Structure 1
């Protein structure tokens, strides 16, 4: 009886742990360039800063087709991360922090980190 109870608990634990959903996070940026030449070092280096944190481009430089509202502030960039922590750790990393002033000098941007819906 006790062995069956232990087995049931173990099976329940393993099923519960394998069913946990992964919640991705996204870095979303609207970027309106004012100096494309100044932006080149940022564009060439940014991917190498987020790859170690599991980031991947979902959208890079996409032209938005605005349907409602006031419109985007330029091109869109979306980078997907496995977790909110990974996205925040990347953004706060010394490697990325060194690139931010280049982006600021090169145009106008609005950036966000948002948590996505859990993936099953």
Structure 2
């Protein structure tokens, strides 16, 4: 099942280190099957507010996502970003292609009824 690396980046400060990070990150993703799905602006906010930008990287599974993040190659470039951009990074497992939110609603209803 696919997994994703999701970053919410705020207070981006232009710096040469950021350019180096961008130049080097793809080489850290390639061994783990990682690919960018979303990379920054533009963003159209239709509800609420969204300070900053978004990055979404697709991985074949949570195993590859974790291995990429922990890899020596990525850890070597990580400070190039974190020293200049405030943000959050999450690794998130995707849903099955046959996912049906109605099944989730039924499960939540059953749990709520059992707790009452």
What's the TM-score, normalizing by structure 2?
0.76
Instruction: Give the CA deviation at 1:37.
Output: 2.6
The one of 16, 23, 26 equivalent to 2:4 is: 26
**Partner of 2:28 in structure 1?**
49
Instruction: Give the CA deviation at 1:98.
Output: 0.8
Structure ID, larger Rg: 1
- In 1, the alpha carbon distance for the partners of 2:29 and 2:45 equals 28
Q: What do you get for the CA RMSD once the two structures are aligned?
A: 1.5
- In 2, the alpha carbon distance for the partners of 1:86 and 1:113 equals 10
The one of 44, 52, 55 equivalent to 1:65 is: 44
Q: Does 1:90 align with 2:32?
A: no
Unpaired runs of 5+ residues, structure 1, are: 1-22
- Number of aligned residue pairs: 97
List structure 1 segments (4+ residues) > 6 angstroms apart after TM superposition.
none
Unpaired runs of 5+ residues, structure 2, are: 99-116
- In 1, the alpha carbon distance for the partners of 2:91 and 2:85 equals 19
**Partner of 1:19 in structure 2?**
none
What's the TM-score, normalizing by structure 1?
0.73
